[in-house]
Amino acid sequence: MTIVDPKAVRPDQADLDKAAGRPEDADQWTAKIRNTAVEALPPQKLLPDRQPAYVASWIYVFGVTTIAALMVVIGTGFILAIFGPNWWHVSSTGLFVNSLHLWSVEIFMFAMVVHLWGKFFMAAWRGKRKITWITGVVSFLVSVGAAFTGYLSQQNFDSQWISTQAKDGINSTGAGAIFNVTNFGQMIMWHIVLLPLCIVAIVGIHVLMVRLRGVVTPLPAKGETPGEDPGEDPAATGAIGTEVQA
Amino acid sequence: MSAHSDTTKVRKFKVDRDAVTWHGRYEPYDLAKEFLIALLVVVILVAGLAVLFGSPDEKPVTVRSWSTADAVGFAQTAITELDGTSPTATYGPPYNLNGTAQSIGPLQPAKWLGVHHPIDTANDYVLGPLATLPDNPQVQAALQEYKSASPSQQATWNAAYEKAVANATFNDGKLVVPAGDYGPVATLIAEETSMARSGALDGALLSSRQFYGTDYTKPLLFIANGQYLADLAGNQHLAGDQWGMMNETGQYPGQAWLWLYTLWYQVPPMKTSSNADLQVFSIMIILTILLALVPFIPGLRSVPRWTRIYRLIWRNHYREVEGSGGPAGGGGSSGSQDSSGGPPLQAEDGTRTPVSV
């Protein structure tokens, strides 16, 4: 009988070093992608344990709250999807899960709107952060669409009324030919497949951009004259956690 | 790399698009812990709200429930479907070509993609469903008579019946219309009403395409053509002039984030315009593009600086920097980071920034 040491099945660091990062493999696409990714977002930049001293306001909480609420939205939506669209109409447990889904959406949208306006008033697009801002706005728009199709997928009076009213706006733009809000099958597929995928993808890009560029610095203080030292921002170079003295 | 190259192009630091570089101190900030706490707070908050308030689930209106609650209203709607004067019959694209699409100037976007969900209200809502009742000779005879009549004869019967049904009553399970020459139309609408009240019309409207149907376009538009659905919605404060799009049945918050979209319907000229939907959508598309492109729009991107709310958000930072006469932690913010990847920067006081190229 052979006794297997569970720890022995894990490759040790020496073996990993043999399997990746060899100079002769540097031209591989895989190696180039890995090297580019690690160079752009080294671990200490991807998951920093320190932030600039100015990152000290309740407004910063709403970004992470938005993501936390999104996870609850997806989790409760996942449960609703497991049992199908009729379940919550006929089951008290299903109705409760639907309630969790509804309120998590309300909190998600609230946190996202506060986060959006907070970033607006911080002019958070400054310093190569335009893409961060745009992906934030796009994720808000896609979220509005996801919530809207959720209301259309309820199969109750509310979805009947909203769909028959909203059709006029959609149809007036010509989009009604493709996006038929009175087609339950189409709306629920948008709600549980297409738009969640878009949200997760765009929010993912948004978060990576935040990590890549760092948290925007405050607008200049009174008497502060910017432009005298174009040195690299430590937050943008991965030198986070070091204390920089003048 | 030369820090003082003669070839360097310099532009001014623009406070609304460039960020100063931080050289101040860094404080411990546990993102993972913050996320976990936020998740716990959200879960507790969501669970509390769900337990306290639940969620609304008003039963949907069916053709059966509508015709049972308001048989006369149903008959009044059914005749408009037969004579082609209902909102759906005269809608235009994407349902048919009978109506005038909403327009802004010469633009009529609804026409660009044409008819994609064809609805012939007379056949889809009245004649077709009644033809599924083969065991009713009276209905089949009325259908035969109506279909074989000339369009002008049909129009005469329809017009007379539509006028009369305004004064109809519903007694002892029967639709009673003042006496007149309506040809087979009186039979058709009376039988349609009976079919609706039995529930058979709900099935007939859905099963017209396939067994597993998920497209409720036809029954939804039919129901929406009647006044019954609108009256129920008005009672639930969901009508358009009640900011209905952002409301929810009962006292639930609904889609509050649609407030701006809904606002435009409450103000002139959209409030009374026949092109209101297209106008409101156009406004919202423009505003959305402006929001996404704020960083590129001079003036708009200066709003945060003018409102000075940032001073409140970063009040500790400014207190520290301006109180001590120097940046936080001895380093503070200085220099600049170009937002566009463009040429290096020059302070607004004219100081040139030597940079490498």
Residue A237 makes CB contacts below 8 A (sequence gap 6+) with none
Residue B252 makes CB contacts below 8 A (sequence gap 6+) with A102, B53, B55, B56
Q: B220-253: string of b/e by CB count within 10 Å (b at 16+)? A: bbbbbbbebbbebbeebebbbeebbbbbbbeeeb
Nearest CA in chain B to A135: B292
Which of A96, A106, A134 is nearest residue B292 as measured by Cβ atoms? A134
Which of B18, B30, B277 is nearest residue A168 as measured by Cβ atoms? B277
CA-CA distance, B214 to A23, in Å (whole number)?
Answer: 57
Residue A170: its H or E element = helix A157-172
Which of B57, B248, B339 is nearest residue A127 as measured by Cβ atoms? B339
Domains identified in chain A and CATH numbers: 58-215 (1.20.810.10)
Report yes or no: B346 and B352 within 8 Å, Cβ to Cβ. Answer: yes
pLDDT at residue B307 greater than cutoff 60? yes
Residue-wise pLDDT for B9-66, tens only, equals 667 888 898 998 888 999 999 999 999 999 999 999 999 999 999 999 999 999 999 9
Nearest CA in chain A to B342: A128
pLDDT class of B318 with cuts at 50, 70, 90: very high
Please provide the average confidence, as pLDDT, over all residues in chain A: 88
**What is the rounded average pLDDT of the residues B96-113?**
91
pTM score above 0.80: yes
Report yes or no: B160 and B181 within 8 Å, Cβ to Cβ. Answer: yes
CB proximity under 8 Å: A 43-62 to B: 47-57, 59, 61
Contacts of B20 in chain A (CB under 8 A): 217-218, 220, 224, 226
* Domain layout of chain B by residue ranges: 1-54+293-357, 63-226, 236-292
**Cα dist. B97→A65, B100, B232 in Å?**
49, 8, 30
Report yes or no: B129 and B123 within 8 Å, Cβ to Cβ. Answer: no
State ipTM.
Answer: 0.87
Contacts of B1 in chain A (CB under 8 A): none
Q: Under an 8 A CB cutoff, do B55 and A157 touch?
A: no
* Residue B5 neighbours by CB distance under 10 Å: 12
Residue A140: its H or E element = helix A130-152
Nearest to A179 by CA among A149, A201, A153: A149
Which of B25, B55, B310 is nearest residue A121 as measured by Cβ atoms? B310
- In DSSP terms, B334 is beta-bridged to B21
Residue-wise pLDDT for A57-116, tens only, equals 999 999 999 999 999 999 999 999 999 999 999 999 999 999 999 999 999 999 999 999
pLDDT class of B68 with cuts at 50, 70, 90: very high
**Cα dist. B42→A73, B108, B126, B133, B267 in Å?**
10, 45, 51, 55, 37
Report yes or no: B264 and B270 within 8 Å, Cβ to Cβ. Answer: yes
Q: What angle do CA B59, B62, B63 make, to 5 degrees?
A: 160
Residue B26: its H or E element = strand B26-28
Nearest CA in chain A to B335: A229
Residue-wise pLDDT for B187-212, tens only, equals 999 999 999 999 999 988 886 667 88
Place of tokens 């087609």: A183
pLDDT averaged over 10-residue windows placed end to end, chain A, 246 residues = 65 76 88 93 93 93 97 98 96 97 97 97 95 97 96 95 93 94 96 98 97 94 66 42 32
* Residue A57 neighbours by CB distance under 10 Å: 15
Q: Under an 8 A CB cutoff, do B215 and A89 touch?
A: no
Nearest CA in chain B to A138: B292
Place of tokens 């411990």: B28
Residue-wise pLDDT for A228-240, tens only, equals 444 444 444 433 3
